[in-house]
Amino acid sequence: MSDLPRRGKGEDRIPAEMPSAQRRKVAASILSADHAYLADQIKLVEEHVELIHIDCMDAHFVPVLSVGPVVVEAVRRVTALPLHCHLMVERPDALFEDFARAGADIVTSHVEAVEDPAKVVRKAGDLGMRAGLALNPETGVDAVVPHLESLDRVLVMSVHPGWAGQEFLDGALPKIEQVRREIDRQGLAVEVEVDGGINERTGPKCLEAGATVLAAASSIFKAARPGEAARRLAALAREES
């Protein structure tokens, strides 16, 4: 185990022993937030959501360059919610130590970006973080099935990674169903998170397919009242529980 401190603020909100299928959650994705007022934006929504989702992009794995550990550290100072860092980067495990120091609770790596997913998942755990694996729209569920027992979550991309505001891809729904069936077959409490084009219309479809976490960016932070938008999406999630 590393000598890094375990930064698990808010971890009691997601008890590992609770079956994931019984709890539906909303993750507010700050990709669409106004970063000039990021602390204020988070405060507007945090009472309605269970996680803060932070998209970290390197302009290599995806064309876009976004935030890194410095922003994660700043967010950590303003909220006790768990921080889920979605690493859309090449060699994500090379950055794990920096994200652990910054206060990340969960790191999700793209299965397409790693040679040995099992090794990457173990490294995240050694640094005190929970680990997820993400699937691009073109990637099949079989890529994550061998690793389910070690995962906190599977992240199904319902858009092509890189930009907020894209239209939801309906092809994600069968993948959500496949992941859900395999998790249930193995009797695991692994979250199924969906990221991309999530709103009050598409979110219920994902929940019906078996998702347990809705990551929403534009539908929350581009709304005229982000707090109200987060509240409505959370209410939909509770209805589906």
Write the DSSP assignment of 134-180 as a string of letters: EE-TTS-GGGTGGGGGG-SEEEEESS-TT-TTPPP-TTHHHHHHHHH
| Residues labelled as active-site residues | 55, 195
How many Å apart are CA 140 and CA 239, to the nearest integer? Answer: 29
Sign of the Cα pseudo-torsion (103, 93, 153, 198, in order): positive
Q: Which residue has the tokens 């092809």?
A: 171
Cα distances (angstroms) measured from residue 60 to each of 124, 159, 162, 241: 22, 18, 10, 38
Helix (H) or strand (E) segment spanning residue 130 = strand 130-135
How many Å apart are CA 38 and CA 122, to the nearest integer? Answer: 32
Residue 20's SS3 state is helix
Residue 169, token pair as written in the block: 């891809």
Sign of the Cα pseudo-torsion (48, 198, 135, 144, in order): positive
